Amino acid sequence: MFVGVVAVAAQPIRTSCPSAFRASCRRRAREFQMKHLGTPIHRSTGTPKHWTTEPLNLSLLILPLAAIAGYWAVLIYHLGAQWSIYEQYNYGWAVPFLCAYLLWKRIGQSAPAVRSSEFKVQSSKFNVATSQYLLLVLCALVYAPTRWLHEANPIWRLTSWLWAIEVIGLSLTFFLLAPSALPASSDSKVRQFPESLQLLAFRFSDFVFPVCFFLVAVPWPTAFESFLTQSLKQLDVSATTELLGLFVIPAVPHGNVIEIRTGMVGVDEACSGIRSFQATLMISLFFGELYRLSVPRRTLLCSAGFILAFIFNIGRTFLLVSVASARGIGAIGSWHDPAGTTILVACFLCLWLIAWVLQGAETRNQNAGGTKERARAGEGQSDGTGQREPALSVPAFQRLSIFLLAWLIAVEFGTEMWYRSHERGTFSPLSTLPSPEWSIVPSRDLPGLIETPIPPSIVGQFRADDALQARWQDAAGQNWQLYYFRWFPARSLKKRVATQMAKTHGPEKCLPRSGMILKAYLGTIIVPVVPSVDSSATTAATSSPFRLAFHQYAFTSDSRLLHVFYGIYEDPTGPSELANRRRDTGSRIAAALAGSRNYGQRFLEIAVTGPPDPVAARASLQHELEKLLSVRDKRIEGLRPLASVFRHLPSEL
């Protein structure tokens, strides 16, 4: 800007003495850069002293960028499945783009300061570069078992965090090593930048926050998230009930459910406020970095975001319950999503306004201290002479790039081969699946059975290939409820995530959230059943009793005893053996050792009220299962076309 003003003011001189004008401009430009940037300038070339004028061979950047991009692409692909399934983490798709934008902004803002600095090379035997190499190799080695475990447990939060931290560690260590690969000047302790690399100049600190910002998109540890979700639910229910009382709307809390005159309104995970809580944390951290706020101001911004998220969520729950009380429970459907979108936008705008106000105070502080910093920078510059290099030599991080890229390919190939070797034949029609094949198909002996629609939230999370929810009353007056889901062998990552997510759901977690009390867990039982015969079934399929394994629970709800039978079954092991639900570290490692990844599975949960004790409930369950199960032998069905061919052969053969 200063040079431009000088050029306009000196326009009359330019026509009469062009050579004097150009010399004056060059002199003023050097003075301007020395004064405001503190950078020594070559009088002959007009470039900083530690910059060379040799062109950069951009092909040298392709391999390093490809290696780092490969690790990030695989990580984002696998986390993306969780971002799509878990509604509270849908914002994760925006985080990689926000990271890239913050990185671009930081490099653009710090490039002048980087061009005015010199990179010193350590001369000790065990220098910083050696420790960086060791850290990079350590992250790469730990990457292999983490990747292998995550393939069998795609929703395990521990492997998700380890994986993200390892990739971040690889990236930061790689960036930290990059300056050591620049060509040296005549002073062996000074690294030189090619002039064409000025746009790629950076400081290591430019990468730290933008890269670590990606961690806000990694799903939180399950224990912490569950505790926070349940706490927010209880606070939401209590605060909303008090507000309803102030507006003379009768309401009684029951756990996570609010009872009003028109029915019961449940506060689920979507209404707990956890989504707005996590989204505001991400937005607050982004605005804090975008406006370069100090740590205290960033803390204040995050705290304001949490308070705003809680207040707006209370207002949303109050609005929905008020609508349900005035217009009925069914009216909530038309208000639920618009209210959620409104509070998210309002919270975003309020945070933006707060960040803008804090940025004004931050800018005034930075301007006050900027003159002193530039004066100190100008006093501390060296006057060493630069030296032009003939070409950019093959840097050390080129060899590291080859190692990282080869290691990534080896880990991905080895992981895929391990699981494919255990899944061989899973997708074949005549595979080694246990015989017989079974499903839940209510028979005509249940005339009072009513199929009820499954809530869209469960359908969206489970993504099952076949689903059934039904209610009926038997001849003894006992009330039954059934949930059945069927997943075929998974062919996509999203399907695998949905299949594994179903294993985390169980009556011991879900029913207490609706106000029921777990009275007893009665262990695992085996129920022998003689099912109804399918029209296409064979005698071999039903010649022996069919055996189903269940977890049995006893709950109390409004002083009534509720018996619950629950089981998840993987196709290779059959219905007589319950599936590995991956509830602890040992079971998750066992799943990886068994190569359990794409197996199909079934989910069956049956609840009944009426039986006086668990023994009577098991007897009633056995009787009802005979009317629900449909069994057929897929192996024999697969041989039927071959048998029909033999029947049509000439009798002489």
Distances (CA, A) of 325 to 236, 244, 335: 17, 10, 13
Does a structural domain hold residue 280?
A: yes
User: Are residues 453 and 599 part of one domain?
Assistant: yes
* Per-residue pLDDT, 175: 78
* Per-residue pLDDT, 22: 52
* Per-residue pLDDT, 269: 57
User: Are residues 631 and 545 part of one domain?
Assistant: yes
* Per-residue pLDDT, 313: 87
* Per-residue pLDDT, 27: 57
Taking alpha carbons only, the member of 524, 541, 522, 520 closest to residue 532 is: 541
Structural domains in the chain (count): 3
* Per-residue pLDDT, 636: 45
Does a structural domain hold residue 646?
A: no
Alpha carbons 220 and 160: distance in angstroms, whole number = 9
User: Are residues 203 and 77 part of one domain?
Assistant: yes
User: Are residues 280 and 210 part of one domain?
Assistant: no
Q: Please list the ranges in the chain whose pLDDT falls under 70.
A: 1-60, 110-129, 178-204, 268-272, 365-397, 425-436, 444-445, 531-545, 633-653
Strands (E), 203-315: 252-254, 257-260, 263-266
Could you tell me whether strands 560-570 and 601-609 are parallel, antiparallel, or unpaired per DSSP bridges? Answer: antiparallel
User: Are residues 288 and 207 part of one domain?
Assistant: no
* Per-residue pLDDT, 234: 84
Helix (H, G, I), strand (E, B) or coil at 521: strand
631 pairs with which residues across the strands? 438, 533
User: Are residues 212 and 168 part of one domain?
Assistant: yes
* b/e per residue 574-609 (b: at least 16 CB within 10 A): bbebbbbbbeeeeebbebbeebbbbbbbbbbbbbbb
Q: In this structure, are residues 136 and 400 in contact, taking their beta carbons and an 8 Å threshold?
A: yes
User: Are residues 212 and 233 part of one domain?
Assistant: no
Q: In this structure, are residues 542 and 631 in contact, taking their beta carbons and an 8 Å threshold?
A: yes
Does a structural domain hold residue 552?
A: yes
Q: In this structure, are residues 440 and 469 in contact, taking their beta carbons and an 8 Å threshold?
A: no
Q: Write out the residue range of the structural domain in which residue 399 sits.
A: 62-218+393-421
Strands (E), 154-207: 190-191, 193-194
User: Are residues 149 and 101 part of one domain?
Assistant: yes
* b/e per residue 443-455 (b: at least 16 CB within 10 A): eeebeebeeeeee
- Sheet of 263-266, strand order: 252-254, 257-260, 263-266
Q: In this structure, are residues 205 and 102 in contact, taking their beta carbons and an 8 Å threshold?
A: no
Does a structural domain hold residue 35?
A: no
User: Are residues 513 and 555 part of one domain?
Assistant: yes
Torsion angles phi and psi, residue 64, rounded to 5: -60, -45
Does a structural domain hold residue 346?
A: yes
Alpha carbons 213 and 254: distance in angstroms, whole number = 39
Does a structural domain hold residue 429?
A: no
Helix (H, G, I), strand (E, B) or coil at 285: helix
